[in-house]
């Protein structure tokens, strides 16, 4: 994975810690930050300029970006080149899964007022983290890199952990608890301490359904639901019709 940026220092910490560091140390992925200023065409290492026809702000120039792209090896000719931009497609877990299967990914960090429109000619797509604006694409690139790399088999100590994450199954993830059993009166649900694996798994599934219904009901339409799931959701609807909706912090019954 290559990340093209005019501010490489922003990415140093993110790529040198946690999952991204472990993936590199295991030899499962290669990540490199490319300084666009190394590909500037003037002695001042300029990578931005004022827009034609005027207007506020500065624009990322096309020349340094394209020169940087052309310096990267691409033996298969199938690499994905993505511009981080608020105008891009909003990143989803499904898109992350697609990217994790790619052999080569290049992320271009936009910055300043925007980018020279001709840069888009050299990309395969654009990504956004959501409907908000960052000062540049570096933090977004770090988020994309983390999300993609953690899905590469062998990176996580327990791959099943990734399979149960929010959005991966189409639902939000359930609640989790660890020691102590009782913290200032806040207790772990008894079913999770019972040693009954099947009942604990049922509790987690119900909790995921309840949380998704309460916080992101839009996800339920596209989720892969079993008849048991649907029955539990109908039960929640009946309970809601019979009285006040349970507070979101409460877990489902065992």
DSSP, residue by residue, 71-119 = HS--TTS--EEEEEEEEEEEP-HHHHHHHHT-S-EEEEE-BBTEE-GGG
pLDDT, mean over the chain: 90
Instruction: Answer yes or no: is pLDDT of 254 > 50.
Output: no
Nearest to 47 by CA among 32, 34, 37: 37
Arithmetic mean of pLDDT, 155-166: 62
The CA dihedral of 154, 157, 159, 162, to the nearest 10 degrees, is -120
Does 139 share its domain with 195? no
Of 140, 159, 178, the domain-final residue: 159
User: What average pLDDT does this structure show over 187-209?
Assistant: 96
Q: Specify whether 47 is located in the same domain as 90.
A: yes
Confidence of residue 253 (pLDDT cuts 50, 70, 90): very low
124 and 61 inside one domain? yes
Q: How confident is the model at residue 163 (pLDDT cuts 50, 70, 90)?
A: low
Same domain, yes or no: 120 and 168? no
**Where residue 108 sits, what CATH number does that domain have?**
3.40.1280.10
Q: Which residues pair with 60 in a beta bridge?
A: 48, 115
Residue where a domain stops, chosen among 136, 159, 182: 159
Mean local confidence (pLDDT), 195-212:
96
Residues 217-227 pLDDT 10s? 999 999 999 99
172 lies in the same domain as 65? no
The reported pLDDT for the residue numbered 130 is 95
170: domain CATH number is 1.10.1270.20
Please tell me the total count of domains within the chain. 2
Cα gap 96→91, rounded to integer Å: 7
Asked whether residue 201 carries a pLDDT value surpassing 60, the answer given is yes
Is 138 found in the same domain as 106? yes
- Verify that 43 and 104 share a domain, yes or no: yes
Sheet with 114-115: list strands edge to edge: 48-49, 59-60, 114-115
Cα(230)–Cα(45) distance, integer angstroms: 60
- What is the spatial distance between Cα 14 and Cα 103, in angstroms, rounded to a whole number? 21
Domain-terminating residue out of 130, 159, 188? 159
* pLDDT in the model for residue 37: 98
Strand pairing category for 114-115 and 105-109: unpaired
Shared-domain flag, residues 147 and 249: no
Do 178 and 53 lie in one domain? The reply is no
Q: Is residue 25's pLDDT more than 80?
A: yes
Are the CB atoms for 181 and 187 separated by under 8 Å?
yes
| In a shared domain, residues 202 and 241 | yes
Answer yes or no: do 84 and 210 share one domain. Answer: no
- What integer pLDDT is reported at residue 160 of this predicted model? 53
Q: Are both 15 and 129 inside the same structural domain?
A: yes
**Helix runs in the chain, H state only:** 9-15, 18-25, 62-71, 93-100, 138-149, 159-163, 197-215, 227-242
Q: State the pLDDT at residue 249.
A: 47
Q: Which domain holds residue 233?
A: 164-254
């Amino acid at each position: 994975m290559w990340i093209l940026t005019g501010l490489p220092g922003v990415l140093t910490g993110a790529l040198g810690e946690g999952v991204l560091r472990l993936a590199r140390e295991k030899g499962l992925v290669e990540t490199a930050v490319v300084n666009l200023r190394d590909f500037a065409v003037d002695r001042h290492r300029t990578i931005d300029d004022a827009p034609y026809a005027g207007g506020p702000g500065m624009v990322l120039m096309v020349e340094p970006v394209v020169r940087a792209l052309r310096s990267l090896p691409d033996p298969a000719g199938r690499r994905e080149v993505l511009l981080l931009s608020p105008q891009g497609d909003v990143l989803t877990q499904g898109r992350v899964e697609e990217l994790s299967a790619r052999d080569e990914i290049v992320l271009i960090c936009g910055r300043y007022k925007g980018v020279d429109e001709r840069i888009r000619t050299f990309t395969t797509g654009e990504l956004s983290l959501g409907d908000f604006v960052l000062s540049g694409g570096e933090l977004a690139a770090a988020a994309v890199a983390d999300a993609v790399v953690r899905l590469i088999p062998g990176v996580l100590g327990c791959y099943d952990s990734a399979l149960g994450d929010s959005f991966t199954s189409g639902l939000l993830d359930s609640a989790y608890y660890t020691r102590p059993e009782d913290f200032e009166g806040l207790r772990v649900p008894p079913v999770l301490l019972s040693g009954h694996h099947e009942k604990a798994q049922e509790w987690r599934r119900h909790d995921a359904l309840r949380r998704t219904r309460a916080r992101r009901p839009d996800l339920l339409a596209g989720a892969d639901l079993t008849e048991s799931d649907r029955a539990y959701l109908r039960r929640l609807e009946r309970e809601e019709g019979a009285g006040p909706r349970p507070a979101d912090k409460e877990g489902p019954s065992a």
